[in-house]
Chains A and B, each alone.
Chain A
Amino acid sequence: MSLTLLVEQILNGMQFGVTLFLTASGLTLVFGVMGLINLAHGSLFMVGAFAAAATAAATGSFLLALAASIAAAAAAGAIIEVGVIRRLYARDHLDQVLATFALILIFSEGTRWLFGSFPLYLSIPDALAGPVTLPGGIRYPLYRLMTIGVGLVIALGLYLLITRTRLGIRIRAGEADREIVAALGVDISRLYTVVFALGAALAGLAGALVGAIQSVQVGMGEPVLILAFVVIVIGGIGSIRGSLVGAILVGLTDTLGRFLLPGFFRLFMDNSAATSVGSALASMLIYVLMATILIWRPTGLYGARA
């Protein structure tokens, strides 16, 4: 096994982790501030991807496509927040799960209705399409590298937003106590809509970024949603830092597991058996990681609530 290949896989893991972070951070923010578990978050990821694909097809501009993904997901987020989600804050988790499950059905079938069942494609712009040579002579796709960069910049931005800005102060106060925020004269329902739309926008952007690597299709959001749940469970519900650490951990574990496990089993098995055992186990690896962390810390790495 060459070192180059390993570095490449680590970067792939980082890239996967960063897109997971974009999805998980919105989910964890919404849970932390409003106490809402939102299954339809994956649908917002999908909305972002479809908006980007449609815009790119119409205008040919990748930047416009990214902007469209953010705008469309934020708008969809704001609409469902006002129409449905805000009725759920005071409800128990079961009602939240059911109502947002219903939203998934509506979003998924609605999108299929609009765009049909065939996948759309969003292509990487020429400027970003080629590989770039990293120090040490490793060649790596520029687009994936850019994705990692965008993710890390957004992580930093979110950190600054929450620690340094007025909105961040309100968000943190909202996590602590709704009534205090209300007493401070902040329009709490508008704050919630903004937070929800922000989370949606991040998921939408993640959808567009991933959509350029994979295909854009109905149902693409839910596997990501469930991985984002794994990330949140590992990182601790409500913690942005936890979701970053959890996302990178999950991204690396999954990518490196798929890369290394078959080779590991080849040491003492024949080739085809090793490939099947290795890849089957690799597909379970992040859940094993989750279970292990759960035994060790039931509220996740950075979780405070019981």
Chain B
Amino acid sequence: MAEPVLAVEGVCKSFGMVRASDNVTLDLRPGEIHALIGPNGAGKSTLIEQICGGLEPDAGRITFLGRDVTGLGTVQRARMGLARTFQISALAMEDTVIENVLLGAVGAAGGAFRFLRSALRDRAFRARAEAALEQVGLAEERWMRAGDLSHGQRRALEVAVALTLSPRAFLMDEPMAGLGASGSQRMTGLLRELKAQAPILLIEHDMDAVFSLADRVSVLVQGRVIFTGSVAEIRAHPEVRRAYLGEDA
């Protein structure tokens, strides 16, 4: 079996008496979409923050591309090629769409400390940014302000920024959040395309999307991964049905 791109091993994190992550182990393999599901308060956000480098685990280890990154910060992990999208769109709302994706291109090239040339006129940055907009279908909106976009367009812009990083792995935090049926469908199609570029760790509430996209699914309940398996196995698993699907299905 191929070496996992991203591996979380025995990660624990407590806040006071609350165990937000309780010996969590999961991995992301090349070419797959691995969905992480779980009810609200299961510790998904805490886990994402630890994977991205925003929180340091109390115990355990996180490896990315075969390297132990547990002690590295968000910035360093991003520069290694870990691209995340945010549950609540984190965009420069006063700036144009193209400027938002250019930011990703600048970050990917390590070019934030260039002072002389205009970012918009830099051919390399611009090409990379335009390609990402093209791929998510936002090329027409490039001169609009991010703040004026519809909710669905913002979700797509989030993905476009991640794309400009030429990532080795995507970490997507509820990309379907707040999207209607047609929006979800479009996003599902986009993620299926992206999977060819880099594997995706997908945190998602939308079960239809999860079941149609995921190669594997892990279920997080009260900070613990209670089960990992294929979509079919998840559907069949009694404990999962009780703990999680029972509320939803």
A and B touch in their complex, CB below 8 angstroms: no
A interface residues (Cβ-Cβ under 8 A, vs B): none
